Chain A
Amino acid sequence: MRILLIEDEDELREQIAEALEGRGEVVETAATGEEGLYLGSEYPFDVAVVDLGLPDLEGQEVIRRWREQGRDFPILILTARARWQDKVAGLEAGADDYLVKPFHMEELQARLRALVRRAAGWSQPVWRFGPLVMDTSAQTVQVDGRPVELTAFEYKLLHHLARNAGQVVSKLELTEHLYAQDYDRDSNVIEVLIGRLRRKLDPEGTLKPIETLRGRGYRFALPRDEG
């Protein structure tokens, strides 16, 4: 997941970013509302974490402007003020969930995962594509009831493709969602990863879960079960 984090408290921002990165997420951080607003307006993100009490631009305002621009990634607000008025105002501005400080990192992680899953149209953490089953909370994958061992990167790659099932995902987009900004984009690591993923998921070559569209990118091709 590519996560935008806006938090003015340096210590807390570093801690959250570190914790999320330690779990294999890509985190972009901003210390001010203006900077965060800019990042969220210009770059693709899967989810944003916005502190409500920012010094320059209120978190609520940042959210409102994103929504006005048509940015539709899910947003979780962090607030030190536990009053309902703040929570309601935040959600009415366009946020999708709230978390009151102080919170547990696991809780934040779980909420973010649920938001991204929900944004992809899944109401359950377990995604079923015929024989392929992904448990997004346990981060495990099964094919025909047989567990498939994936590295963290392979899982993230599959997760992003499956989340956008049926749509073409460009190599650039995959790179951006899997790596921090300064990664060397000319590398062929994505192709290598896709190849490994195909072999692990479909050793016999009968399922064909991932299509390559020459010059355009990849597409997760398995039809999604309801749920």
Chain B
Amino acid sequence: MRRLSLTARLILGAGLVLTLVLSLTAYVLDAVFRDSVEEAILDRLRSHVWTLIAVAEIGEDGSIRMPKGLPEAPFYQAEFGLYAQIESNDGRHRWISPSLEPHPIPNTPRLAATQEVFQRHRLADGQPVYLYSFGVSWGLASLHHDLYTVSVAEDLSYYQEQVGRFRRYLLAWMLAVAGILLTVQGLILRWSLRPLRRAAKELEAVQEGRQTRLQGPYPRELEPLTDNLNGLIRFTRDNLRRYRNALADLAHSLNTPLAVLRAAVEGKASDKELRPLVAEQVERMSQIVGYQLNRAATAGRAPLNKPVPVCSLAERLGRTLAKVHQDKGVEWVVRCPPGFTFAADEGDLMELLGNLMENAFKWCRKQVRVTLEPLAAGNALLIRVEDDGPGIPREARERITRRGQRADQGTPGFGIGLAMVAEMVVAYGGTLDFDDSDLGGARVQVVLPRPGAA
């Protein structure tokens, strides 16, 4: 299954968060606004109640009279949506505003003096209203019971209109904000992912051979990726070149002994003369094949190597060689900081160490010493192999280390081992030195830079 694209992931994530945050914000704003609208209604109803208390006249018998020309005109007309009612708590006297006629407000509360209640309520015809009721005592000595409840009600239409308008505004704003945020997010995303798209395009160009590497500069986060890709591209190209060279060299160097053999077979040589000739040429060809195969198999400066535990590598080789040279009873030691690792191709390191150590085991009288050390803060590896054998003659040293020396053309006595080492060291851009060891024999020292190290 195809994985969700990065853009889709980010947009989806941002969209979810945005929806959540905006919904929450809208809910809170709405609640606050509704509260404030209700508060305003309460204030207004309360002031109406105070006006009514101020103008109402209570008779000696407790009857309620309202002077003509009530200052609150809205109470007279139903279309203003404002209603008032004053009722004695014993239910004997009642006044209702003309806007209420003919039915009083049902089930109004009967309150003690200064008690107040604000609530949603319904009129007799079922219309929903906000109702504010207030308990009052006129303090008339003639009445032993002079508690009244003054109620004022207002249509919900005002409230509904206010809240409705606010909600429409809120929705419009929230949608606008969400739209802007998502657009900006998308733009940022496009902008951020552009280097990735460019890298993909460049890689395609490399594949099609229009380009040899990814050309920077890339953002810091991508640099390790593009650097490694470049390393990989370079490595692949180098490898291809090396294989081609090795094949060409192989074909070229096999041709000579083949020509010799063919000439001998076609010539007048007797069977007896042919035998040593064939043996000699076969030996030569076998050396050529061995050398060239090894050379082609060298990984060289491949990037992305995992760290190789070089100490145990040397120990394993030591045990193997000690087993093979058991008769000699070689005293061998590997000096290596415990747990030391070096990031290079394990096969190459093994080849290098194996060839060096094999020579030491072969030529030593009794002692072999292998030293492994990190150099340049772990960016290079020092390999020193020493023995107490006869040492390597000066002129042989020079021949082995001379650049371009074709090892398959023979360094008698040293096989192709050291030549392979020299070849590999060159492939790694390292150094190879020969010296005399304090053990009495040869000291071969190799310094390998870590592949990929600057």
Contact = CB atoms under 8 A, between A and B. Distances in A.
B320 A102 contact: no
A118 interface: yes
B327 A88 contact: no
Given A92-B316, A92-B320, A84 B327 contact: no
Interface in A132-179: none
Interface stretch (A93-101, A185-193, A208-216): A93-101
B297 interface: yes
A123 B323 CA distance: 12
A60 to B, nearest CB: 13
A206 interface: no
Contact of A87 (B282, B290, B354): B354
A100 B350 contact: no
A91 interface: yes
Contacts of B263: none
A85 B290 CA distance: 15
Contacts, number: 47
Nearest to B279: A104
A23 interface: no
A97 B329 CA distance: 15
User: Which of A88, A92, A114 is most buried by chain B, counting CB atoms within 10 A of its CB?
Assistant: A88
Main secondary structure of the interface of B (DSSP, over half): helix
Contacts of A85: 346-347, 350
A120 interface: no
B332 to A, nearest CB: 15
A82 interface: yes
Contacts of B350: 83-85, 88
B245 interface: no
Contacts of A102: 282, 286
Interface residues of A, number: 17
B53 interface: no
A123 B328 CA distance: 8
Contacts of A92: 316, 319-320
A91 B315 CA distance: 13
A118 B290 CA distance: 29
Interface residues of B, number: 22
A19 to B, nearest CB: 14
B326 interface: yes
B337 to A, nearest CB: 22
A97 B324 contact: yes
B351 interface: yes
Contacts of B282: 102
A87 B294 CA distance: 14
A124 B328 CA distance: 9
B286 A91 contact: no
A82 B320 contact: no
Given A82-B290, A98-B324, A123-B327, A88 B297 contact: no
Given A83-B351, A102-B282, A123 B324 contact: no
B316 A118 contact: no
B14 interface: no
Contacts of B293: 82
A16 B319 CA distance: 29
Given A84-B354, A85-B350, A96 B323 contact: yes
B297 A83 contact: yes
Interface in B271-308: 282, 286, 290, 293-294, 297
B324 A83 contact: no
Interface string B305-344: 0000000000011011001101101000000000000000
Nearest to A95: B323
Contacts of B329: 123
Contacts of A91: 319-320, 323-324
Interface string B349-365: 01101110000000000
Contacts of A88: 316-317, 320, 350, 354
A84 B317 CA distance: 8
A188 to B, nearest CB: 38
Contacts of A100: 290
Contacts of B294: 82-83
Contacts of A97: 323-324
User: Which of A91, A92, A97 is most buried by chain B, counting CB atoms within 10 A of its CB?
Assistant: A91
B319 to A, nearest CB: 8
24 contacts: A82-B293, A82-B294, A83-B294, A84-B317, A84-B350, A84-B351, A85-B347, A87-B320, A87-B354, A88-B316, A88-B320, A88-B350, A88-B354, A91-B323, A91-B324, A92-B319, A96-B323, A96-B326, A97-B323, A102-B282, A102-B286, A118-B326, A123-B326, A124-B327
Would you list the 6 A-B pairs with minimal beta carbon distance, nearest first? A84-B354, A91-B320, A84-B350, A102-B286, A88-B320, A123-B327
Interface of A: 82-85, 87-88, 91-92, 96-98, 100, 102, 114, 118, 123-124
